[in-house]
Amino acid sequence: MECYLDIQLLPDPEFNEQTLLNALFAKFHRAMNKVAQGKVAVSFPDVKNKRLGGKLRLHGRAEPLNTLMAENWLQGMKDYCSFSDIKEAPAGCKYRVVKRVQVKSAHNKRKRSIAKGWLTEIEAIKQIPENPLATDKLPYLEVKSLSNSNRMRVYVEHGSLMDQPLQGKLNSYGLSAEATIPWF
């Protein structure tokens, strides 16, 4: 992932930053599935607390980034963002994992355990306590599922900084539980 490009959201009086980021990310997700599956990673360099910020950074080799940007996937968003040229990541930067976190609610865990016959309803209530989700502290994107059209949240966790890059597979959101991206 030696190259990157930044897509910066522009201030808009009609739409808040999170709404625009959700729309931009949904378009990116559809384009990734079409032309660059597993070849482009994402990060959010302006992430703070529960907000991902107004910048989407795409990471990868120059060829997949060029292929992605040659598609007309930003149609409808060009008035709401600006994007940089493809550049090389700075030498000597740190690395971090940017991954999707999926946590099932206690209700869903109980429901599944009962449906599978692992537990009775009373056992499920006793053994699977109600507790706050770990995702309550994570920023998220709201997207429409390509498989079933349901609205869902994609929780994003930024891992600790590392000195060396790690290889791994990227999902269709450009996130990975093991691959690192340059962080600068």
Residue-wise pLDDT for 46-61, tens only, equals: 999 889 999 999 999 9
Q: Give the CA angle between residues 102, 104, 110 to the nearest 5°.
A: 165
Percentage of the chain modeled with pLDDT above 90: 69
Residue of 147 and 44 predicted with greater confidence: 44
Classify each residue of 133-164 as buried b or exposed e, where b means 16 or more C-beta atoms within 10 Å of its C-beta.
eebeebbbbebeeeeeeeeeebbbbbeeeeee
Check residue 167 and give its pLDDT. 95
CB 80 within 8 A of CB 20: yes
Residue 4: count other Cβ atoms within 10 Å of its Cβ: 24
Beta carbons within 8 Å of 19's beta carbon, 6+ residues apart: none
- With H, G, I as helix, E, B as strand and everything else as coil, classify residue 92: coil
Beta carbons within 8 Å of 67's beta carbon, 6+ residues apart: 35, 36
Angle separating helix axes 62-70 and 17-35, nearest 10 degrees: 110
Measured between alpha carbons, how far is 175 from 157 in angstroms, rounded to an integer? 10
Check residue 132 and give its pLDDT. 59
CATH topology for the 3-101+134-183 domain: Alpha-Beta Plaits (3.30.70)
Check residue 137 and give its pLDDT. 80
Stretch 2-20: mean pLDDT, rounded? 95
CB 133 within 8 A of CB 103: yes
Q: Tell if the pTM clears 0.85, that is, is over it.
A: no
Average pLDDT, the chain: 90
pLDDT digits (tens, 9 = 90+) for 118-135: 999 899 888 888 765 555
| Residue-range domain boundaries for the chain | 3-101+134-183
Residue of 19, 20, 68 lying closest to 42 (CA atoms):
68
Q: Looking at residue 182, what DSSP letter applies?
A: E
pLDDT-derived band at 150, boundaries 50, 70, 90 = confident
